[in-house]
Amino acid sequence: MVGNGETKGNNMSGGREAGKAQLKLAILYHPDFFIHGYPVLRGRVAPAFDELRSRGLLDREGIEVIEPDPADEALAARVHSDSHIHAAINSGYYEIALLSAGAVIRGAEEVVTARAANSFCFVGAAGHHASHDGFWGFCYLNDVAMAIEFLRENLYVKRFAILDIDPHFGDGTRDILGRDPDVMHINFHSGFTIGREDGPNNLDFALPHEADDERFLSKVDEALKAAASFGHDLLFIVFGHDSHRDDYGAFELGDGAYSAFALKVKELFPRRVCYVLSGGSNPRVARRAIGDVVEVLAT
């Protein structure tokens, strides 16, 4: 079974409880991500969530699993054009994209309201290739852009850093937010840069297809330093594990890369970080990568 809130001790909750000690980590998860998610992406979701359970992470104090609600369609319509929304509806993945964006919005909200130190958001469709007026690559709605729109409007949060370590260039996010003076957009990619547009706070790290852990992690240090100098209110990590050597994207990262990455992030930014799941298909890689990142955040 996948986590649906029935298992005692899962700390699964859909509601907000005020006045409690701050959570270490809010995990946003919905079983529909596994059932109705985009085929390439969905097969890893339940195995990775089961891995968190089998490591005992879901029962730890200070960890809460939250089942998200779908994002408001009016919010999607403020970030994307009418024709984009129609095309997303026709794709058959609009509903799961709304639920995925809902997870990211709630995950970000938990962190900026200081209810949780950090959050990790599972999704059923990715977001970083969804631009204002187009989408590709298993992305339909730009979850991070929608979360930023939501936080600015409802919680008056202003400045954001986005560190996208998915090995595919985050062209959709660049299209929507690349010229925003209050957003720093940092991209790891393999030289394939559709829709690239330079703006005041954009920083891109092109790595060769065969980039290993050492090469990747040395650039992570540079990226985090840049994010620190920007001075953001919330850091989004667009977390694609398709960069693993056994997954479908560029780079040849090994099993240890993701915990090393998460430790580096935590060292500089111990709170106010929202991880957003992105590319990746291999269930074994997902179990290890997501399990390791959540382990770092939960410790």
Interface with Zn ion (CB under 5 A):
166, 168, 240, 242, 249, 279
User: What is the nearest approach in angstroms of Zn ion to the Cβ of residue 169?
Assistant: 9
Q: Nearer to Zn ion by C-beta: 240 or 291?
A: 240
User: What is the nearest approach in angstroms of Zn ion to the Cβ of residue 229?
Assistant: 27
Contact 291, 125 (CB under 8 A): no
Q: Nearer to Zn ion by C-beta: 234 or 250?
A: 250
User: What is the nearest approach in angstroms of Zn ion to the Cβ of residue 280?
Assistant: 7
- HEC per residue, the chain: CCCCCCCCCCCEECCCCCCCCCEEEEEECCCHHHHHCCHHHHCCHHHHHHHHHHCCHHHCCCEEEECCCCCCHHHHHHHCCHHHHHHHHHHCCHHHHHHHHHHHHHHHHHHHCCCEEEEEECCCCECCCCECCECCCCECCCHHHHHHHHHHHHHCCCCEEEEECCCCCCHHHHHHHCCCCCEEEEEEECCCCCCCCCCCCEEEEECCCCCCHHHHHHHHHHHHHHHHHHCCCEEEEEECCCCECCCCCCCCECCCHHHHHHHHHHHHCCCCEEEEECCCCCHHHHHHHHHHHHHHHHC
Q: Nearer to Zn ion by C-beta: 26 or 96?
A: 96
Closest-approach residue to Zn ion (CB):
279
Q: Nearer to Zn ion by C-beta: 64 or 242?
A: 242
Q: Nearer to Zn ion by C-beta: 41 or 88?
A: 41
User: What is the nearest approach in angstroms of Zn ion to the Cβ of residue 168?
Assistant: 4
User: What is the nearest approach in angstroms of Zn ion to the Cβ of residue 173?
Assistant: 12
User: What is the nearest approach in angstroms of Zn ion to the Cβ of residue 128?
Assistant: 8
Contact 236, 80 (CB under 8 A): no
User: What is the nearest approach in angstroms of Zn ion to the Cβ of residue 59?
Assistant: 31
Q: Nearer to Zn ion by C-beta: 102 or 279?
A: 279
Contact 260, 217 (CB under 8 A): yes
Q: Nearer to Zn ion by C-beta: 107 or 279?
A: 279
